[in-house]
Amino acid sequence: IADYLNKVTDVLNKVFIAVTLISAVTIIIGLIVISSAIMVQGKVKEYQNLVFKILGFSKKEVILSSLIEFIIIFKSVILISIFFAVIGSKFIMENIFELVWKFDFKVLIYLGSSIGLVTLILILLTNLKYLNPKIYPLIRNQ
């Protein structure tokens, strides 16, 4: 019996290593995609801020528009991701692991608010770079 347990343990360890490597590759690919999307969004934001500047918006109004845009997008993405995460975790916990599933609202609030706060800070820091676009080079090149 000990020999079979050792074999099963070895197989499970190999499966764990494989899952960990696949997860790491997936995370790295996701970070590459997100970073390229942020670079593209920065260019779009520069032109958007140029239009706001031409229309006479102040820096405060431009930042406020970015905040409103963030809140609208963040709420919709969070609601969709929570919906799929809750359904997926309930299915996996009850059907695959055969454990009791309990929804913890406090963890959801803490996790969602911390992710939202970090994302908001990063968006504001990125947007500050694009608040004063150089108008002549942008108009000349486009």
Q: Is the pTM of this model over 0.85?
A: no
Which pLDDT tens digit goes with each residue over 33-61?
Answer: 877 877 777 778 878 888 888 888 888 88
DSSP annotation string for 59-94: HHHHHHHHHHHHHHHHHHHHHHHHHHHHHHHHHIII
- Taking only the tens place, the pLDDT of each residue in 62-72 is 888 888 888 88
Give me the residue label for tokens 């190999």. 14
The pLDDT tens digits of the residues spanning 12-31 come to 888 888 888 888 888 889 88
pLDDT mean across residues, the chain: 82
Q: What is the pLDDT of residue 133?
A: 61
